[in-house]
Amino acid sequence: MTKPIDLYYWPTPNGWKISIALEEMALPYNLHLVDIGAGEQFKPDFLKIAPNNRMPAIIDPDGPNGQPISIFESGAILQYLARKTGQFYGSNERERIEVDQWLMWQMGGLGPMAGQAHHFLKYAPAMEPPQVLPYAQDRYRNETNRLYGLLNRRLADREYVAGDFYSIADMAIWPWACLWEGQEQDIADFPHMNAWLDRVYARPSVQAGRRVAKEIRDRPQETGEQKKAQAVLFGQKAR
């Protein structure tokens, strides 16, 4: 019997990548919530698993050679799980190269740019005092728009980002792309991307992974809670 994987998680786009992958691959897992607004990502026990103080992270008790292994960085976790199960990574080397290219595109491009768009468009204006920075807002909104234009063109003649097969690249990109409204994008400009968003979300495992700890993300926060979380998330110092 497969031993459950320990998933260290909070309901954010990067967290959804791994909850979706575990659901898609039918891997059992134990959920460990890491409240990033309360600073739990800085606890020594978590830093042993994820030294960059970011979630998600996993511990697989049945790692290489049957020995436990801990892994941080969502892209590395996706690659590991795909190799472990032999799923969602293409069927030959050319397909795997396509998957890796688009996975790296998300990790190095879409994730950081969309994340900064969320920060400067949503969080910074709500700070005390408000930080409304038009240059930063335009910079990250426009770069996110450029990236979605590329994704839209890519999906014009294929079902999924790496080709006609669903892969970990889709699992990496979808959690960020589904939040296009918060990035102040017009989905009408990206019809192929929009159809792909619907196609991916139609998968029951994507819906299940997206629901993990949904009640936490949907929970309204008091003003004091929001300020405390912002101080932790956006006032971080090297430790």
Q: Which domains does the chain have, with CATH numbers?
A: 5-87+223-229 (3.40.30.10), 93-202 (1.20.1050.10)
Predicted pLDDT at 177:
98
Map residue 86 onto helix, strand or coil: coil
| 31 bridge partner residues | 7
Q: CA nearest 193: which of 178, 172, 213?
A: 178
Residue 110 and residue 173 in contact, taking contact as beta carbons nearer than 8 Å: yes
Q: What is the pTM of this model?
A: 0.92
Residue 200's pLDDT band, with cuts at 50, 70 and 90, is very high
**DSSP secondary-structure letter at 51?**
T
| Section 29-55 average pLDDT | 96
- Cα–Cα distance measured from residue 144 to residue 140, given in angstroms and rounded to the nearest whole number: 6
Residue 228's pLDDT band, with cuts at 50, 70 and 90, is low
| Section 183-211 average pLDDT | 98
- Cα–Cα distance measured from residue 178 to residue 21, given in angstroms and rounded to the nearest whole number: 16
